[in-house]
Structures are given as C-alpha cells and as structure tokens.
Structure 1
Amino acid sequence: MLSTLQIVTTVVVGLLVGVEFAVAFIMSRILNALPDDSSQLGHAHGGRMLGRAMPFWYIGSVVLAASWAVAGWRDGGAGLVVTAAGLLILSVIMSVLLLVPINNRNRTWTPENRPADWREQLHRWERYHYVRVAVLIAAFTLLVTALV
C-alpha cells in the first residue's frame, strides 16, 4: 500500500512540476511573443483554463504527500517527505497570496477593458511563478530522493 502511495504521489507531483515548468518556460514565452491583443487573450484563456484545474492538483499533491509522510513515518526518508509536503504547502500559500489575485484579474480582461499596466502585472505573475516552480522542483526532488 505504501509503495503505491509513493508512486502515485511522485507521479502526480512530477506531472504538476512538468505542467508548471512548461507554463513558465514555454507557454509564457510563446504568448508574450504574440501581438498585444492575441497575447493578452491567450494569457486570459490560459488563466481561465488552468485556474479551474490547478487548485485540485495542488491540494491533491499536498494531501498525497502528507498521507505518504504519515503512512511512512517510521521508514527512512520520512523527513524528506515531510519537507516536501511543507514545500507543497508553501506553493499553495504562494499561489493564494501572490499568483491567484493577479490571475483572477487577468482572466477577465479583454482588449477593451484591460488596464494600461496589464503587461507589468503579467510579468509580476511570471516572476512569482518562477519562484513557485523552483519550490515545486525542490519538493519533487525530495520525494524522488525519499524513494531511494
């Protein structure tokens, strides 16, 4: 049972890292290279689409990591899993406090109603997102290390 939980947790967090890495280093660059209206509309659509799925994915990752930490408390690597779970909690806190407020504004913008500083707000979101990706990579690395 524990090994199944370990594998599922590692896969779910690994996929989360992959998606967020792709958003940071691929999708944002593609969208930022488009003309203003297309760029802004693409960011808004991405914010709406991922904004619906990511809360479940982030909370699910925390629950899985915490479950692994509890179930494997007496096993080697428990400290790594607890630290990874803490980093996943940090990523949720960062999301709620820093990224979600910008995303909630961005996903409602159109070329007709976007604020003059819309690009600056998106660049701020991207900077916060880079930090969040680093936190997620660290959590994933700890989970993989705990497996070995």
Structure 2
Amino acid sequence: MQHTLSVVTVVVVGLMVGVEFAVGVFLNPIFEQLPDNGGLAARGAGARILGKVMPVWYISSVVLGSVWAALAWGDAGAGLVATATALLVLSVLMSIALLVPINSRVARWTEDTLPADWRQQLGRWDRFHYGRVAVIVTAFALLVLGIA
C-alpha cells in the first residue's frame, strides 16, 4: 500500500511540476511573442483553465504527501517526504498569497479593460511563478529520494 501511495504521489507531483515548468519556461515566453497582444488572450485563457484545475492538483499533492509521510513515519526517507510535503504546503500558500490575486485579474482582462500596468503585473506573476516552480521541483526531488 505504502509503495503504491509513494508511486502515485511522485507521479501526481511530477506531472504538476511538468505543467508548471512548461508554463513558466515555454508557454508564457511563447505567448509574449504572439502579435497584437495575442499572448494576453492566451494567458487569460490559461488563467481561467488552469485556475480551475491547479488548486485541486496542489491540494491533492499535499494530501498524498501527508498520508505518505504519516504512513512512513519512522522509516528511512520519511523525513524527506515530510519536508517535501511542507514545501508543497508552502507552494499552496505562495499560490494563494502571491499568484492567485494576479491570476484572477488576468483571467478577466480584455483588450478594453487592460490596466496601465498590465505588463508589470504579468512580470510579477512570472517572477512569483519561478519561485513556486523552484519550491515544487525541490519537493518533487525530495519525494523521489524518499522512496525507500
């Protein structure tokens, strides 16, 4: 049971890391190159779609990590799993405090409702996102190391 849980947790978190990495490193830079602010529409659509999926994914990752850490408590690697889970909790807190407020605004923007500082807001979101990606990549690596 614990081995299956560890594999499921690593797969779920690994896929989440892959999506978030791709958004920051590939998709958003590609969107920035689209003509006529086409990237703005793409980022808005991404904010709406991923804004519905990612909260479930993040919370599921925390729950899976927590259950794994509890079941493995006292075993080799349990500390790594607990630390990874704490980092996943940190990523949720970062999301709520830093990224979601900007993302919620971006999801509602149209060409007619753009604030004057929209590029700065997107840049701020990108910087916060890179920090969150670093946190979840570290959590993922610790989970992989925690499989004993």
Residue in structure 2 matched with residue 78 of structure 1 by the alignment: 78
Residue in structure 1 matched with residue 121 of structure 2 by the alignment: 121
Residue in structure 2 matched with residue 27 of structure 1 by the alignment: 27
Amino acid across the alignment from 2:134? A
Residue in structure 2 matched with residue 145 of structure 1 by the alignment: 145
Residue in structure 1 matched with residue 93 of structure 2 by the alignment: 93
How many residues of Structure 1 are paired with residues of Structure 2 in the alignment?
Answer: 148
Q: Which deviates more from structure 2 when the two are superposed, residues 34-43 or residues 10-19?
A: 34-43
**Cα offsets for 1:101-140 (capped at 9, x unmatched):** 0000000000011111111100100000000000000000
TM-score of the pair, normalised by structure 2: 0.98
TM-score of the pair, normalised by structure 1: 0.98
Amino acid across the alignment from 2:137? I
Residue 48 (structure 1) shift: 0.3
Residue 147 (structure 1) shift: 1.1
| Alpha-carbon distance in structure 1 between the residues aligned to 2:43 and 2:36 | 11
| Alpha-carbon distance in structure 1 between the residues aligned to 2:30 and 2:36 | 12
Q: Structure 1 runs of 4+ off > 6 angstroms? A: none
Residue 75 (structure 1) shift: 1.2
Q: Percent identity?
A: 55
For structure 2, the residue ranges without an aligned partner over 5 or more in a row are: none
Residue 74 (structure 1) shift: 2.2
Amino acid across the alignment from 1:137? V
- Across the aligned residues of Structure 1 and Structure 2, the Cα RMSD in angstroms comes to 0.8
SS at match of 1:107: helix
